[in-house]
Structure 1
């Protein structure tokens, strides 16, 4: 599938927030973090904006030229971080200070994130609902996965739905064996992809 992709910059921030907000509004994890849909509609974009700000600063955001899909990538070095990641606390503080789940989800995922090898981390990939199932996610991931294969770098992500898990398996990711069970909520599946020779 021929998809024109460009790297997004800070001037794209508001469009990126809108796109992720729309793409993940009905996601099982977003629905767990913000169970009340009216409340979710008010704070969800602020919550996801933290991911976008971090990736625009520290990683890369690949954006379909037509604005229908995006992927957030970080290059993660080997070894445990020197400082505790304050991203989960910032997400809660910015989006919904009274909501423990807004921080808890990030803390739970941080506990399972592998640190023994450097890797490309697909933090999030979002496709607008009307374009889901058209291959845009695969097209957005392909250039980074090709680079990983060329350079011998593994990749990592967390699938937030059974549907996305199946997509990632088709792209060479394998479930790492232990799902993250959100308290009284859905599962997330940490997945790892070895580079292909």
Structure 2
């Protein structure tokens, strides 16, 4: 499938936030973080905006030229002898706490999801981290997301670089398996909530 892809700039921020909000509003993990439909509709977009800002500053966001999909990628460096990446923030005011303060200070799950994801994130080897991918609901199932991810995986294969992600629902897990990702040791069971599946992909020759 021929999909025109470009790298997003700061001017694409609202587009990316809107795509992620639409794509994940009814996702099981989003429903756990923001329980209650009305509450989630009012608040969910703030978390998507926080994620977008982090990746615009520290990673790369790919968008389709027609504005129907986006993918957020972060390059994770190899860990040093202490198990910390070269750019890891080790201060007291860490990322999950900052996100909670900016998004919804009274909601501890906003911070908890970040901490739990960090705990299961593989360390040691440099890799490409697919933070999120969002496809407009009316275009899901058309192969756009697959094409968006495949463009980066092709580069990973050329460079011998692994890739990692967390699948937040069974449908996306099947898609990632078709692209060569495999579940790691065990899923993440969110407290009184759904599962997330950490998945790793070795580069292909």
Q: TM-score range by the shorter chain?
A: over 0.9
For residues 170 and 119 of structure 2, the distance between their equivalents in structure 1, rounded to whole angstroms, comes to: 21
> 1:133 & 1:116 partners in 2: Cα distance?
35
> Residue 140 of structure 1: SS of its match in structure 2?
helix
Contact 1:127 1:137 (C-alpha < 8 Å) held by counterparts: yes
Distance 2:61 2:159 in 1: 20
TM-score, normalised relative to structure 1: 0.97
User: 4+ residue stretches of structure 1 with deviation over 4 A?
Assistant: none
Per the TM alignment, residue 48 of structure 1 is displaced from its structure 2 partner at its CA by 1.1
Q: Do structure 1's residue 156 and structure 2's residue 146 form an aligned pair?
A: no
Question: Distance between the aligned counterparts of 1:83 and 1:134, measured in 2?
Answer: 38
Which residue does the alignment assign to 1:183?
Answer: 191
1:145 deviation in Å? 0.3
What is the DSSP-based 3-state SS (H/G/I as helix, E as strand, rest coil) of the residue aligned with 1:49?
helix
- The equivalent of 1:57 in structure 2 is 57
Pair 1:140 & 2:145 matched: no
Hey, what's the Cα distance between the residues in 1 that align with 2:3 and 2:89? 38
Secondary structure of 2:106's aligned partner: coil
Measure, in 2, the Cα distance between the counterparts of 1:181 and 1:68.
31
Maintained 8 Å contact 1:50/1:90: no
Which residue pairs with 1:169 in the alignment? 177
1-structure distance, mates of 2:148, 2:98: 28
- List per-residue Cα deviations over 1:64-94 (Å, max 9, x = no partner): 1111100000100011134338221122111
2-side partners of 1:93 and 1:135: how far apart? 36
1:115 and 2:123 matched: yes
Deviation, 1:15, is: 1.3
For structure 2, the 5+ residue unaligned runs are none
- Aligned twin of 1:26: 26
With normalisation by structure 2, the TM-score equals 0.93
Instruction: Give the whole-Å Cα distance in 2 for the aligned partners of 1:51 and 1:83.
Output: 16
Matched with 1:74 is 74
Q: How does 1:91-110 map to 2 (within 5 A)?
A: 91-110=99-118
